[in-house]
Structure 1
């Protein structure tokens, strides 16, 4: 592919073609939230709405075909008595396991370091620690740290708890507790050393970044005094620390020449970075010095390990631990509700709900993600939360309202993609063209449709330094994690100027602690990545990407697939125009009939009244499509011989001659290992475009990054049509279609 075409595709996110040749016009879109209103349309044809007076209201969803009501009399086939007996036995077994784990946990965290790791390992770390003490500069050899083996937890139990045998089902928990105890004991003895688990078999000990942060606040003499004090108080139990040591060595005074502002920073640093120490300011009277300056008294505090069982009980009392809500068949129960948000990003809305209800964000399910800009209304479900609790927060979260809370509980969550479409109400302001131009563009859009591009919300807007989300995905695909990480750090966030300053500072100084302080509020991605680099080292690029939530990683990978799809739509238009050609891919007749039924149902929702409408035979459920309208090629370990690929037809000369197929039937693949490509020139276009990023899905022997296996690929319509609309720009679109792509077609400019 020539460089000019490649740069053009990059600048426009792959969107460089138009379906019709009508004259465009200029206007302003999304000036306010009311200019862009989105309402979800469920599988039964209901337009999901929430009026002002419906906040906190209850609603009966029993007529919905996609929600299975949880009956109060649900029983297993064994009968009520057998169920009750099994529950009692399970509860007793669980109690015995809990007591056993508590006993093991208490023994582990009371043990001394020599009982947990070998003497040889202690000597290794001790030698390394001595190279750090009193030396501000650490060369490359020292910065690499040392690796020690993690002993067998069972061996510890045999020596110290011979009467306790860890059952096989809790061996993993015991191993995890043992590793935690090793880390706890090592950090207690060597406060300046950071410990991390490597491959579950080793512990890596290396210089902690907090050493640099504290050294910047203290003069050399004070730093040496604090280090010496840390060396002489290396045990977790305060009383043991002071055996044979005079009272004067139980604390140390530092910062005697520091002003009040500096002392405040020292207190904050010790509190944040040295959890085994406490600091207080001593005045001249408490220090016993007439006329002396105030100083900071640092002493070791007794660190009590909080048992996990005690922490769970505490959280349960505070309401932060979810109660038991499993149903008898092993599943969970869910409460459905309608959420209306205004100018709030989708994941941010979920985070606010989770905080208000004190549950993890993963407890929420929904049919599809919605834009940040505008007013969006959609159906949600939450696991294990009663309707009364939802009603209690229905109007207490900024720019979020909750209502139509289900009166019954349901036996399954909502699934991504299980919706019919979305209804859009869009206002374009400051239109520069004459009325007849606008009406002509609107009419042509209704007749010819629009190219089904993924919008800029997915692929990102162009930047001269190529910091778009799909560039992150491309680097992840080919396994170039250093480039992916750098693009991610610079390209994320609303306040990009301040983010850039913080990231520039990190790359120049490698001082993560200061870079984190420089980040503006809301820089969640940068914070996660920098903290992961702080834990694992500056070269741990893959570990830093893995630290990101799965949803964020997936969005960047999907952004790259979407960018490739957009490019292929544009290149196909230039090669073949607006008609089907030999070698194009289309759905089988059965799949096309299903699609036609869904679009007919969507067209019936013309007025957006929210009334239920059903086709004969029930509603159509396109369960094979995800929220992007992409039919994913699953079971990708099987190669291209998948059930989805068997539902695809490659057009022949006879098919084209029959006139039965047009551009409206053509589909194109999103790249992946498990898709088939058009049997015409487009196959080579895919290869050339992917080669720009050193990605090759067509060659099974090509080496790709570990994340490429998460992208089997899929298929998407090339052209879509607006369903039931009016001149006020209120219209319905199938799920996954971007309203901005339709507006782009009409205005002939990027929006």
Structure 2
């Protein structure tokens, strides 16, 4: 990359090797609350007593810090329950058990089980969970006490939660786990308070009934009903009717019905159900389907596998489509990676069943739990990287400085100045004969047969997959190729089935592309758009450098708030603003080509038009209706910075690896351990290329 694209810094750099083994390149997602997924798994397993806690990966104190989760042993358990989440542990949790608890309630309410616990553990830090439990204890103890309640805070803050879906999940999870609490949102901050309605109801009915009623109320399950214990006291029933009608009458309605007890005596019970109109307010068929869909969330650990390849394996084992999986981003192949995933139409139990099978493919799944929706691309804060660079050497033309000094100089330079935010080589199929952007260009030009032939272009190896690809290019025999292709190549097999049925012609290839999931079809188009963005960023730095000039596009909070559409926040720099140096280079963005973006009003904008014309896309609308592909485009910052950086020098010797503190590095044996965070959609390989000034 460095030989083709412009770079940010002018330091000399150094040489080295990355990804000499998968364990030298460890990638861990950072969720929207800034927590490492691996820490979440380790924390949960430690709470269960399954394994010792792992060191804090944010502040490594030792160069021998183990990779996340690797100390957990072979008997990891894939679950999300904490030590106090079973009903039998209620007393240990500090929530006083109800006095005179009823053993049986006529109706059933939704149980606040694994889903709510999983949500709390996945969205809240362990310390916040503990403080929440303590707040719940204080509320209950204050109610149960016969004396004046102790001076405890009237409310408790879970902190700001910016993602609306995460806020909704937390609201529900807290109320399901602690029905005697209520939650409200203030400026994206979730506040927890005592639920005085619960306290009043628990004075009319048993505490268990009150708990179950509020769980039922919060779950809002369509067509569900809740029944209180049979009650022969008419005046008491009237009080319960009146209370529910007064407090929740807009949502539910009550009805008395006759029941027969064990002794054959007739009695009366109160049944509660949701009002019909609460379920019929402009609810589309899609909303109803979304409610009925089953989603299971988990953390996937994979080794030496592409994300889409891992999904192909998983979908084959589970008997679902690859499109039933959602994730926040694509992860490196030659690496050990941890990423959040959600699969539709699969129960947690079913996912656990395939654990031993997928381990043979280099995968493990952790923290399996029910969730209520799929994931979205970009729904993460970033990624944490633990990378070992081996075989450290000076640049071939550098003999003027100590290697250790050169490395420190390079790292500090990029730490201060940042790096050009290029898309990494893995976006394009690094090292492959045909890269993904070439397929994307063929699709945008609606050259369907060419795109299929590019898709099946083999690599220079003689394994069964590439043998099958060669056979197809030579024969156009989709059926014969299908027989040769291994089962795990799900995308290729889906495409071949369609080609066998409809033919290897324009229409048949359209059918073939439509047979694979939309997310995979659009991946190729996005790869082409990414290549154009890389070239545009390189051109921008080559002609203007780090100065913000007239016609540049900037993303500024002055032009709309963070909730405004992105297009409203993109501003074209004026000549007076250039003269006054109003904007900094880190605010400059460039468009990913699409039908709804605007181009810079300077030489960079002209470059875009000429570059697209070169590929025959001067009139392209970035919509391929035949394939249901729609590419509106977006904007990407041209400069990014590294976060939470630490690094250590290592030297191999006959006894193992030691840290080099003060001495010069032995050039033939030296290695470098880097730990850092990057924002989402940033590439560690790009950052390393900027640091080292050599192709990786």
> Do Structure 1 and Structure 2 share a fold, with TM-score over 0.5?
yes
681, 684, 693: which is aligned to 1:736?
681
Separation of aligned partners in 2, 1:457 and 1:655: 38
Separation of aligned partners in 2, 1:590 and 1:468: 40
Say if 2:7 and 2:419, in contact at 8 Å, map to a contact too: yes
What is the match of residue 425 of structure 1? 386
Distance 1:537 1:83, change over 3 A: farther
Structure ranking higher on relative contact order (CA contacts 8 Å, 6+ apart):
1
How big is the shift at 1:394?
4.6
366, 380, 394: which is aligned to 1:403?
366
Say if 2:456 and 2:473, in contact at 8 Å, map to a contact too: no
What is the match of residue 244 of structure 2? none
24, 28, 36: which is aligned to 2:17?
28
Separation of aligned partners in 1, 2:293 and 2:492: 34
Distance 1:708 1:436, change over 3 A: farther
Say if 1:14 and 1:567, in contact at 8 Å, map to a contact too: no
Indicate yes or no: 2:360 matched with 1:438.
no
Indicate yes or no: 2:612 matched with 1:690.
yes
Separation of aligned partners in 2, 1:737 and 1:703: 26
Indicate the SS of the match to 1:548. Answer: coil
Q: Deviations over 1:45-104 (max 9, x none)?
A: 1111133255324243326252354655123635587969989xx9xxxxxxxxxxxxxx
What is the match of residue 454 of structure 1? 423
What is the match of residue 545 of structure 1? 513
What is the match of residue 560 of structure 1? 528
Indicate yes or no: 2:447 matched with 1:480.
yes
Distance 1:675 1:15, change over 3 A: farther
Separation of aligned partners in 2, 1:581 and 1:370: 35
Separation of aligned partners in 2, 1:682 and 1:449: 21
What is the match of residue 412 of structure 1? 373
How big is the shift at 1:655?
1.2
What is the match of residue 589 of structure 1? 557
As a proportion of its length, which structure holds more strand?
2
Indicate yes or no: 2:682 matched with 1:716.
no
529, 533, 538: which is aligned to 1:570?
538
Indicate the SS of the match to 1:45. Answer: coil
Q: Deviations over 1:684-729 (max 9, x none)?
A: 10011111110025x77x9977459511111001011101101131
Separation of aligned partners in 1, 2:676 and 2:335: 16
Separation of aligned partners in 1, 2:379 and 2:406: 38
Separation of aligned partners in 1, 2:79 and 2:541: 50
Indicate yes or no: 2:29 matched with 1:62.
no
Say if 1:13 and 1:461, in contact at 8 Å, map to a contact too: no
536, 542, 555: which is aligned to 2:502?
536
How big is the shift at 1:28?
1.1
How big is the shift at 1:520?
5.8
How big is the shift at 1:435?
1.4
1:179-578 pair list within 5 angstroms: 330-332=291-293, 334-383=295-344, 385-394=346-355, 396-398=357-359, 399-406=362-369, 409-433=370-394, 434-461=403-430, 467-490=434-457, 495=461, 502-519=468-485, 522-539=488-505, 540-578=508-546
How big is the shift at 1:496?
6.9
How big is the shift at 1:552?
1.9
Indicate the SS of the match to 2:7. Answer: coil
Could you say which structure has the larger radius of gyration?
Answer: 1
Q: Deviations over 1:376-412 (max 9, x none)?
A: 1122334465545545555552132223344xx4433
Say if 1:395 and 1:402, in contact at 8 Å, map to a contact too: no
Separation of aligned partners in 2, 1:525 and 1:360: 10
Separation of aligned partners in 1, 2:583 and 2:473: 55
How big is the shift at 1:336?
3.3
Say if 2:37 and 2:299, in contact at 8 Å, map to a contact too: yes
Distance 1:328 1:748, change over 3 A: closer
Separation of aligned partners in 2, 1:705 and 1:390: 36
Indicate the SS of the match to 1:715. Answer: strand
How big is the shift at 1:358?
4.8
Q: Deviations over 1:111-152 (max 9, x none)?
A: xxxxxxxxxxxxxxxxxxxxxxxxxxxxxxxxxxxxxxxxxx
As a proportion of its length, which structure holds more helix?
1
Indicate yes or no: 2:597 matched with 1:669.
no
Distance 1:703 1:722, change over 3 A: closer
Q: Deviations over 1:440-489 (max 9, x none)?
A: 111111111111011111123366xx721101111111212222222111
Distance 1:419 1:505, change over 3 A: closer
Say if 1:327 and 1:333, in contact at 8 Å, map to a contact too: no
Q: Deviations over 1:364-386 (max 9, x none)?
A: 33322222221111223344655
Say if 1:19 and 1:450, in contact at 8 Å, map to a contact too: yes
How big is the shift at 1:523?
4.5
Indicate the SS of the match to 1:564. Answer: helix
Separation of aligned partners in 2, 1:383 and 1:34: 30
Separation of aligned partners in 2, 1:386 and 1:509: 42
Distance 1:435 1:593, change over 3 A: farther
Q: Deviations over 1:486-537 (max 9, x none)?
A: 211115x795776565445444444443343444665444433333222112
**Unaligned stretches of 5+ in structure 2?**
42-68, 82-116, 124-160, 177-214, 223-250, 255-270, 395-402, 648-672
Separation of aligned partners in 2, 1:497 and 1:668: 41
1:59-138 pair list within 5 angstroms: 59=81, 60=117, 61-62=119-120, 64=123, 65=161, 66=166, 67-68=169-170, 69=172, 71=176, 72-73=215-216, 74-75=219-220, 77=251, 79=253
Separation of aligned partners in 2, 1:331 and 1:393: 24
How big is the shift at 1:427?
0.5
Say if 1:13 and 1:566, in contact at 8 Å, map to a contact too: no
Distance 1:331 1:83, change over 3 A: farther
Separation of aligned partners in 1, 2:616 and 2:523: 20
How big is the shift at 1:33?
1.4
Indicate the SS of the match to 2:591. Answer: strand
Q: Deviations over 1:349-370 (max 9, x none)?
A: 3344445555544443332222
How big is the shift at 1:677?
0.2
**Unaligned stretches of 5+ in structure 1?**
1-11, 91-168, 170-325, 595-622, 625-642
Indicate the SS of the match to 2:291. Answer: coil
Indicate the SS of the match to 2:442. Answer: helix
Separation of aligned partners in 2, 1:489 and 1:545: 13
What is the match of residue 194 of structure 2? none
Distance 1:489 1:384, change over 3 A: closer
